[in-house]
Structure 1
Amino acid sequence: MKKSKSILSLLLAVILIVGLGFTVITGIGKSKSGAMKNIKLGLDLAGGVSITYQVKDKNPTKEEMSDTIYKLQKRVEQYSTEASVYQEGNDRINIEIPGVTDANKILDELGKPGSLSFQTADGETVLTGTDVKSASAKTGQDNMGNKEYSVELNLTKSGTSKFATATKENIGKQIAIIYDGETISSPVVRSEITGGQAYITGDFTYEEADNLASTIRIGGLKLQLEELRSNVVGAQLGEQALNTSLKAGIIGLILVFLFMIFVYRLPGLASSLALVIYTEIVLVILNAFDVTLTLPGIAGIILSIGMAVDANVIIFARVREEMARGRSVKVSLKSGFQKAMSAIVDGNVTTLIAAAVLWFKGSGTVKGFAQTLAIGIVVSMFTALVITRMIVFAFYGIGIRKESLYYHKMKERKPINFLGKKKVFFSISIAMILAGFVVMGVHSAQGNGALAYSLDFKGGTSMNVKFDKDYSIDEIDKEIVPVVEKVTGDHNIQTQKVSGTKQVVIKTVTLSLSEREKVNKALEDNFGVKESDITAENISSTISNEMRQDAVIAVIVATIFMLLYIWFRFKDVRFATSAVLALLHDVLVVLAFYAVSRISVGGTFIACMLTIVGYSINATIVIFDRIREELPLMKRNTDLSELVNKCITQTLTRSIYTSLTTFIMVAVLFIMGVSSIREFAAPLMVGIVCGGYSSVCVTGALWYVMKTKVGKKAQPKKKKK
């Protein structure tokens, strides 16, 4: 690369860092597109209410569902302009209202049927919603032949009689149509209407006529809604979760920068600059494409930063190997990027598969995690393969060519006999998995459940309450539990103290809205707790059963797709099978950790497991990629076990470093995050360590056993004496 071109490349990198940084801070244009402060926050960060309703009536029509959604939209608009109401499946409606404070009042209002009335000028009600049989927008022509839009009303027999009397007495006067206390139209009566059919005309657009017709219809809507799930998050708690998670991300990023520069020197600096650009691009995308950022979504970004480092580690490990063979810095850099390409692409594609499955099978917050993880993976591939390459070659091009800045000589590591210890490694893995099953069996026999299922998987009501006092476990049992028992009548209340805070998690059977309001009142009267300091979640058994099924299906589907992809890429089913067995190993070990630690198994459990699956397969692919590369070069008198040991040893440093950098990001999140993030980060840390262990100690050994025992034996030729 010419010096002038290298200077331009570095200048471009600086422009990207400064330009994207400016965009993240201030945004672009009048809409401030790309600004971090304008990123749409989920309810768990902004605070607010989310609720899922199911229609009690069987097989509701499309019009009934559409009208119900419209009714709920009209209701929520008074609380927030950013509220959203959308249909899920054939008979469910989701509502999300961010930034509200009086959550229980809102839940109570949403559950009420709409109130529609036709009133005369003196306030007399002449019709109600039940008197209207149907209402629809119509297109016709006025006296001049121009297109005219109107609303056609068809009344019931009782409504026809009442409306005939009212219109006869109010010719030339207005009859107001009022919905939920708001006047939506005030047409003037032109003549007596006796046939049960009336038209409302005016200067309407078709959309306005259709909305008016829909509002009139919902006044008499008979569909009944059943609450399946609700979640109430205080704005203060959401802000605390956001601030601590952002701090964790920044600290983790700085630690990774320092590690990369210390270990890889100048290439490490190049990758750190690329990671700054990576972080800025992700933040701009979140705002520009109106992606809703949730708490698990932040975890997804932080995790993807660790995986972005992984790509750089793979590249620089290859560069080091080339330089150790005596090649020049320039040749080593080119060869390193080229040889690392396949492992990086394969590893990230498999993780994208996990993210895609999470998106299709997960709930709202899990989808948020999948979305940010997928964005992070795609951007990380771009920054690693394009931006890092551009910067590191620019450094070289401007004259920074001293070999010690790119590589410090290390004593060549002799191949470690991993396969010779395969029985030991297999025994350790089996022991950990069996220990998990034993613990699950003991807990199940004691009636506590094999795993500590959260509301997501068993249904019920959970309240996270912030008290003014730091209660001990004994004080919680003696003072708080009896108050809740008295209100709910539930004598199997579970409590959990959130370490390092004054928060207590209280879990009960599923409570109705009125029961939840009574609990809030009792906590306020007895302990001075404000409603804004209570985060409540309510899940029915219907939802919890579906989430359990989705969890199993998600892991199975993701595993099958990964198996097929590895089979396709490596052209050998033994690579795919051994990789999937290693994935199963990691999932079972982490499951054992869930059983022993009694960490709640809920919605984020699916995200955690599939992330571990994606991360583990990423680590495994690096080793398989090296074996695939070395197999054609294997000498006739070389034993296959020697080659496998050599490949594992060659990639050992990479396995340790990538596990360490990703672990750092998640560990900081665990230390600084709120309780829900800690429950996600703890098993993830175990999964990262387990994934690193299985990729080094288990996967290669499994492939070797299948290659020599299941497939064709690879016997070395005996040396001639």
Structure 2
Amino acid sequence: MLDIPFWKRLLILALVAIGLLYAAPNLFYSRVEQHNDAITAAERNGFETPEEAQARAGWPGWLPSGLVNLGLDLRGGAHLLGEVHVQEVYKARMDGIWPELRDALVAQRETVGAVRRVQAEDGQLAVEIGNADQMAKAVEIARGLATPVTSLTGAGQSDITVSAQGNRLLVRLSDAERAATDDRTVQQALEIIRRRIDEVGTREPTIARQGKDRILIQVPGIGSAEELKQLIGTTAKLTFNPVVGRTADANARPGPGNVLLPSMDEQGVYYIIEDSPVVSGEDLTNAQPSFDQNGQPAVDFRFGPSGAKRFGAYTSANIGQPFAIVLDSQVISAPVIRQAITTGSGQISGAMNVEESTRLAVLLRAGALPAKMTFLEERTIGPELGQDSIDAGRLSSIIATAAVVAYMVASYGLFGVFASVAVVINVILILSVMSMMGATLTLPGIAGIVLTVGTAVDANVIIYERIREELRAGKRIVKAIDDGFSEAMSAIIDANVTSFIAAAVMFFLGSGPVKGFAVTLTIGLITSVFTAIFLTRLLIVFWLEWRKPKQLIL
């Protein structure tokens, strides 16, 4: 029957009230946003400034504070498309294999002879052995270092290939391992970029892989593409290497196993250091900006247990010797080891200001990019353009809603008013659900809302037309309305299920703007079914109980 139990009425009204409550913060967007930013900053820093306390007090803490995040096209911000140089990782892998291969060959020196690494193409490791007639033995030793490829496509294959050319042993990554390495490198770069951006408190960035070796980065609210590049464009590769020597000759030959790197602080000074580091930034567990004993900006760091153990063992065995702190192929400093450093903590100081020390700490905490990135496309979208988009979206939504309301009222009279109320509440519910989810609204998302406004009344049109048919068949008002809702239910469900399937396909297979459209469309489908079937029905029941009409013209 058309009668709705009290508990169901209460539940429908409660859901509407909750939707209004969670959508309300969007009416005070700037105030709530400052409130949320102040809380986030205080939690991140461990203390609260007076300005942050004032911003936090600008919105009551007991009220919901979720907002619909504005996308890049609405808020303005920076857009970058970066290419990851995955080939750099091949060289690093060969450098990592060399010490183990060297030790294995040296252990068989009586058989293979003297062992020496020589120049080779990028991504290859070339080793000369003294006894060329024992190359088969050397190849066997090298192949013994191979491990299985850790990927589904490379299952059963080795990670390296070994070949011989005269008295040279050549080692390179196998094709399967290169493919797996490429995938891991891009995924690692993507996650590190995400951590770096999250560290500075930006909202809802879009960070997605595109193609084989490219990453799309869109960050709303950031000042410029150049600022974003400074944050993520540095590899921040930190290593601690033994020092072999120091020179003023930029063309000095460092010798095998060594590299020549410039000093960051001392103009014209170069250090010859061992290529293999004692520990690296990957061993760090924390890094925080601080000040050194002279009051100059610095960065305090701490190693994990494994790194602390290796660093402690090295410093214990090399007291009185210098070691280099290397950041992105530049020697920050080369202090002399005065005593064993077994605590696992230390400090980086040098020519840097407070802003640079803070940025370095962020980069070190997030980790080093596994390879260099080249930015193929960069674009800054100003907030004025974003505001224009918001204004255009708001105007289109208002016009669409007004047109739908006018049509429904003209076609169905009072019942059209009920449907119009449901449409307005439907839009509010969409915003409330997006606020609770922390979803991002983009221009395509606004298009999804506008489309939802146009289609939200479809269910009401089907119901009202069924009611008209029942009235023409001579049924009484209550019976006609009840049967109209019941008979229209299957058609409404079928129509929305097919639309939901299309929206799901767009979400899972689409990217960027297409996903934004799919999210708002999906939410709109769910809320429109609720408002059309349950809320409209409740409004009609209230009207019937109040007016008790004898006849109905629809």
Pairwise same-fold verdict (TM > 0.5): yes
The answer to whether the 8 A contact 1:111-1:225 is kept is yes
Compute the displacement of 1:390 (Å): 1.1
Where does residue 332 of structure 1 map in the other structure? 480
Where does residue 39 of structure 1 map in the other structure? 68
- The 1-side partners of 2:406 and 2:225 are apart by 45
Where does residue 82 of structure 1 map in the other structure? 203
The answer to whether the 8 A contact 1:187-1:200 is kept is no
1:51 match: secondary structure? strand
What is the total number of aligned residue pairs between the two structures? 375
- The 2-side partners of 1:314 and 1:246 are apart by 28
- The 2-side partners of 1:45 and 1:71 are apart by 26
- Alignment partner of 1:100 out of 222, 234, 249: 222
Return the structure number with greater strand share: 2
1:327 match: secondary structure? coil
Return the structure number with greater helix share: 1
- The 1-side partners of 2:528 and 2:274 are apart by 56
Compute the displacement of 1:368 (Å): 0.3
- Alignment partner of 1:287 out of 432, 435, 440: 435
- The 2-side partners of 1:109 and 1:138 are apart by 19
Are positions 1:260 and 2:435 aligned together? no
Are positions 1:168 and 2:316 aligned together? no
Where does residue 494 of structure 1 map in the other structure? none
- Alignment partner of 1:150 out of 290, 296, 305: 305
Change in Cα spacing, 1:88 to 1:2, as seen in structure 2 (3 Å) is closer
- The 2-side partners of 1:213 and 1:24 are apart by 31
- The 2-side partners of 1:45 and 1:325 are apart by 52
The answer to whether the 8 A contact 1:39-1:291 is kept is yes
Code of the residue aligned with 1:287 in structure 2: it is S
1:97 match: secondary structure? strand
CA deviation profile, 1:49-71 (whole Å, cap 9, x unmatched): 23343434253367644653465
CA deviation profile, 1:24-73 (whole Å, cap 9, x unmatched): 536896285365xx311110111112334343425336764465346535
- The 2-side partners of 1:353 and 1:227 are apart by 37
The answer to whether the 8 A contact 1:52-1:228 is kept is yes
Where does residue 215 of structure 1 map in the other structure? 364
Change in Cα spacing, 1:308 to 1:330, as seen in structure 2 (3 Å) is same
Compute the displacement of 1:309 (Å): 1.0
Code of the residue aligned with 1:98 in structure 2: it is P
Code of the residue aligned with 1:48 in structure 2: it is G
- The 2-side partners of 1:3 and 1:87 are apart by 48
- The 2-side partners of 1:3 and 1:115 are apart by 66
The answer to whether the 8 A contact 1:138-1:151 is kept is no
1:168 match: secondary structure? coil
Change in Cα spacing, 1:92 to 1:29, as seen in structure 2 (3 Å) is farther
| Correspondence 1:223-622 to 2 at 5 A | 223-227=371-375, 230-404=378-552, 406-407=553-554
- The 2-side partners of 1:286 and 1:249 are apart by 17
The answer to whether the 8 A contact 2:418-2:540 is kept is yes
- The 2-side partners of 1:281 and 1:400 are apart by 31
- Alignment partner of 1:53 out of 72, 82, 102: 82
Code of the residue aligned with 1:326 in structure 2: it is G
Task: Tell me how large the CA RMSD over aligned residues is.
Answer: 5.0
Change in Cα spacing, 1:188 to 1:310, as seen in structure 2 (3 Å) is farther
The answer to whether the 8 A contact 2:68-2:438 is kept is yes
Change in Cα spacing, 1:12 to 1:116, as seen in structure 2 (3 Å) is closer
Where does residue 200 of structure 1 map in the other structure? 344
The answer to whether the 8 A contact 1:39-1:293 is kept is yes
CA deviation profile, 1:546-603 (whole Å, cap 9, x unmatched): xxxxxxxxxxxxxxxxxxxxxxxxxxxxxxxxxxxxxxxxxxxxxxxxxxxxxxxxxx
- The 2-side partners of 1:62 and 1:4 are apart by 57
2:215 match: secondary structure? strand
Change in Cα spacing, 1:351 to 1:66, as seen in structure 2 (3 Å) is closer
Aligned sequence identity (%): 29
CA deviation profile, 1:358-414 (whole Å, cap 9, x unmatched): 11221211100011111101111111111111111221122242534x42xxxxxxx
- Alignment partner of 2:61 out of 19, 26, 30: 30
- The 2-side partners of 1:188 and 1:342 are apart by 80
- The 1-side partners of 2:25 and 2:223 are apart by 32
Change in Cα spacing, 1:154 to 1:84, as seen in structure 2 (3 Å) is farther
- The 1-side partners of 2:432 and 2:365 are apart by 43
Q: Return the index of the structure with the highest Cα Rg.
A: 2
- The 1-side partners of 2:231 and 2:18 are apart by 49
Compute the displacement of 1:245 (Å): 0.5
The answer to whether the 8 A contact 2:225-2:378 is kept is no
Compute the displacement of 1:103 (Å): 2.1
| Correspondence 1:617-636 to 2 at 5 A | none
The answer to whether the 8 A contact 2:208-2:216 is kept is yes
Change in Cα spacing, 1:130 to 1:335, as seen in structure 2 (3 Å) is farther
The answer to whether the 8 A contact 1:47-1:234 is kept is yes
| Correspondence 1:171-190 to 2 at 5 A | none
Change in Cα spacing, 1:155 to 1:130, as seen in structure 2 (3 Å) is farther
> Which runs of 5 or more residues in structure 2 are unaligned?
33-58, 87-177, 244-263, 286-302, 347-359
The answer to whether the 8 A contact 2:20-2:428 is kept is no
2:203 match: secondary structure? coil
